[in-house]
Amino acid sequence: MELSWSTKLRIAGSVGAGVVLIGIIGWPLARPSEPFAPVQVANLGLADGVVLVVLAFVAGLAGYFISWPNGLEIGILAVPSGLAIWGVRTGNIASLLQQSPSFEQREALLAALKWEPIFWLAIVGVGLGAVYCGGKLWPTPVKVGEGSGAKPFSQRHLNSIVALAGCTFIAYFALNILVQDVRLVNEGAASVVGQPATGQIVFGVVVAFGFAAFLAKNFLNSGYMCPIIATAVVHPVAIVVSYRSDVLFHLTRSWPAVFFPNSVVAILPLQMVAFGTIGSIAGYWMGVRYNFQRKHAIR
């Protein structure tokens, strides 16, 4: 089940469509006014948001048709690949916290950040919807399903809930291991971690969600949607768990803005959703490949 050259070219074409349309052409929509400032939803005006939705839809369609007849499997990479370019070019959360020095300002900032992943997930969803529209316009001759499709409706829902919770749990702890920077001892037994480098974030998020998707596929026969949705859940959960009022007050008073209670909250929502989606898709198909090889292994 090795990837053929034609499949590799389709993947490259789909990724390239997203990189060009969103990562390059769409970059002025979200480019911060300050050179090292992070990309935020607040940077986008209403018109910018509408243009981004259109670009995401066009990128999804382009990804589908470029990768046809494997558009349903490969075209979904277009939009997260474009957002990933933004995730590499953006500043980090530490620079954002430096602009909010007081406890009240940081509390309001963190409250706003909890909702940002929903927006970026919606953009990924637009690209996914465009891929499905492409499937209606030009159906693929062979449709590859995500699951057996034979389970009762209630069982499928329960399976999805368990998969979503499991992916969130696995990704949260994997990110704390994989996304690391200097760690210093805080008061008592706690510690703080420095702002991770962008390359470390890219590696950690892709691998963490890839691992979660792989396990979800193999143990729950889940598709890639549950780990993708989990990319928008992990960051709010991390903020709620890690940034209690007393913790935030202590960090604001005693530590520079480049230190965090854990690594997960040092990742921008944009980076979490973009790189996490790519990792989820890769991990899911690695799970499919593993199952295929295990069932067809020569004994």
pLDDT per position as a tens digit, 26-75:
999 999 988 789 999 988 999 999 999 999 999 999 999 999 988 888 99
Q: For residue 201, give the 3-state DSSP assignment.
A: helix
298 pLDDT band, cuts 50/70/90, is very low
How much is the pTM? Answer: 0.92
* Closest among 217, 165, 196, 177 to 271, alpha carbons compared: 196
pLDDT of 187-241, one tens digit each?
654 789 999 999 999 999 999 999 999 999 999 989 999 999 999 999 999 999 9
In this predicted structure, the answer to whether residue 147 has a pLDDT above a threshold of 50 is no
- Token representation of residue 184: 């210093």
Instruction: From 66, 46, 90, 75, select the one nearest 6 (Cα to Cα).
Output: 66
